[in-house]
A = this chain, B = another copy of it.
Amino acid sequence: MISEKMKPLMANNSAIRTMFEEGDQMRAKYGRENVFDFSLGNPDAPTPPEVKQAIKEIVEEEPDLILHGYMSNAGFEDVRETIARHINKTQGTNFSKKNILMTVGAASGLNVALKTILNPGEEVVIFTPYFLEYNWYVNNYDGVVVQAPTDKKTFQPDLKSFEKLVGDKTRVVLINSPHNPTGVVYSEETIKGIANILKKKQKELNRAIFIIADEPYRELAYDGVEVPYITKYYENTIVAYSYSKSLSLPGERIGYLVIPDELEESELVFDTASNANRILGCVNAPSLQQKVIAKCVDAKVDLDYYDRNRKALYEGLKDCGFECIMPQGAFYLFVKSPVEDEAEFCKTAKKYNILMVPGSAFAGPGYVRLAYCVSYETIQNSLPGFKKLAQEYGLR
């Protein structure tokens, strides 16, 4: 009954469902507080109080028919201008409303961007490991994902290999930094390296190649690390942003695309993306939430909430003898499995009520992803289990 294109997704899906169901079964059996579930990337830092305040003010201030009404497919102009100014202030860019397209979160933004520029058979280069959902977004437009390797130690892109993979079918390079699932932030050196290769390739191949930067974790960067703003390094860049993490609003589906003036035929691409937003059925980003964002443009979740978790889990795992790099962004730790088959490692961990996601689910076999967007207590209470798990693998 279902379309051929959806069939492989549904087959794949049952594995993920089994994982969730196992978690639920464990919680039912052992009690919620005794299950250490690091499998879900659900933001859990408190929503900033500005959000509730903004909603209450907005419903009093704005006429209903404007507040809940249609606007341009790109979003309310005042909201887009406010966001442009905010990015300019924080990133030193020079955007205005004509560069900001409000979207139903970053996931929809990525779909809109791909619908706008990708042709069937064209390639989208993505560095491994990565959020495999990208495969489906690319598949929606009959594109082809090309996986590019990263350095095994730093998870920064391997630029030499990357250069070889960019060819006359390459249309997009999809970059995600701060990164899911590794927590890595791509350095300025990395971004410059990618940009230089693409500039050269664009000339050589005489075709436009776009960077699409998926940046839902932009604000979740620790230790004062700089997250380079990619439009400053490469002209044909589209940024997809979401407030899901920075304001803990994932259910509201609110984000934006940045389409800079410097991008080739910027105005046409922007108009086309606005229309793609419409015909994909979103029409526009949810109107009330657009207004909320404009009021909360300077608000941010408390980074310390995640940072404390990050340090506690990293230190705890290192003490057990596990191998992982200290993540500088997002809320994930990518830990090396002590055995090659990381699915087996995940299975063993369940003995200690610890739930993790196998790296293969991110095209990163041999590793596991731990999402530390959980309570601090969960991390504290999970550590004795991790210790036993490490001992079972003879780590310490």
Residues of A within 8 A of B (CB): 1-6, 9-10, 13, 42-44, 46-47, 51-52, 55-56, 59, 64-65, 67-71, 104-105, 107-112, 115-119, 133, 136-137, 140-141, 208, 247-254, 264-265, 268-269, 271-272, 275-276, 278-289
B65:A108 contact, CB within 8 angstroms? no
Query: In the docked arrangement, what's the CA distance between A272 and B44, Å?
Result: 28
A229 to chain B, nearest CB (A): 22
Closest beta carbon of chain B to A391's beta carbon, Å:
35
A-B CB proximity, top 6 nearest: A251-B287, A108-B281, A111-B281, A47-B64, A136-B279, A107-B281
A71 pairs with B265, CB closer than 8 A: no
Q: Is the CB of B1 within 8 A of A265?
A: yes
A52-B64, A64-B248 given; 11 more Cβ-contact pairs under 8 Å: A2-B269, A3-B118, A3-B272, A9-B275, A42-B70, A69-B250, A70-B250, A105-B283, A137-B279, A280-B281, A288-B289
| Nearest B residue to A249, CB-CB | B68
In the complex the two chains form, is B2's CB within 8 Å of A105's CB?
A: no
Task: Check A272 against B118 for contact (C-beta < 8 Å).
Answer: no
User: Bound state CA distance, A52 and B2, in angstroms?
Assistant: 39
CA–CA, A117 to B21, complex, Å?
A: 27
* Residue from the list B107, B247, B264 in contact with A1, Cβ < 8 A: B264
Contacts of A278 in B (CB 8 A): 107, 133
